[in-house]
Amino acid sequence: GRKRYIAAAFPSACGKTNLAMMTPTLPGFKIECVGDDIAWMRFDSEGRLRAINPEFGFFGVAPGTSSATNPVAMRTIFRNTMFTNVAATSDGGVFWEGLEKEIPFCTPAEQCPIMDPKWEDPEGVPIDAILFGGRRPQGVPLVYEAFDWK
């Protein structure tokens, strides 16, 4: 198999982290993460679009995140993670649902079990596709396709 890299542009809380940390359900497929938020992109000397992750870690929102919805994220935030506006439960767990609309957390990228080996490569990774997403259900086609970067 050939490795492909995609970049995605979605508004806040629209699934960027879930996309970046997906667990494949198809046999033989593997997903690795370069980042889940910011990408700096440029064309290299051969005209290939490349991207780097300028961030050191992940900054996400906790509500809706669980071992059922994103097991990779849960393994990533298990230690060395800073949460705000959460509560410890009497059984040693963490409660965040309903405390606030978006509970932020921040954790180092190196803790993510599926980080791509090239996530810190200063040359970046070659981008094969860009996905655009949003919450707007009407007024725009569901799918656009471009055949080149021009």
Q: Indicate which residues carry an active-site annotation.
A: 14
State phi, psi for 73 to the nearest 5 degrees: -60, -40
- CA nearest to 16, candidates 40, 33, 41: 33
For the residues of 71-121, what is the DSSP string, one character each?
A: HHHHHHTSSS-EESS-EE-TTS-EE-TTT-S--EEEEEGGG-TTB-TTTT-
- Could you tell me whether strands 6-9 and 129-132 are parallel, antiparallel, or unpaired per DSSP bridges? parallel
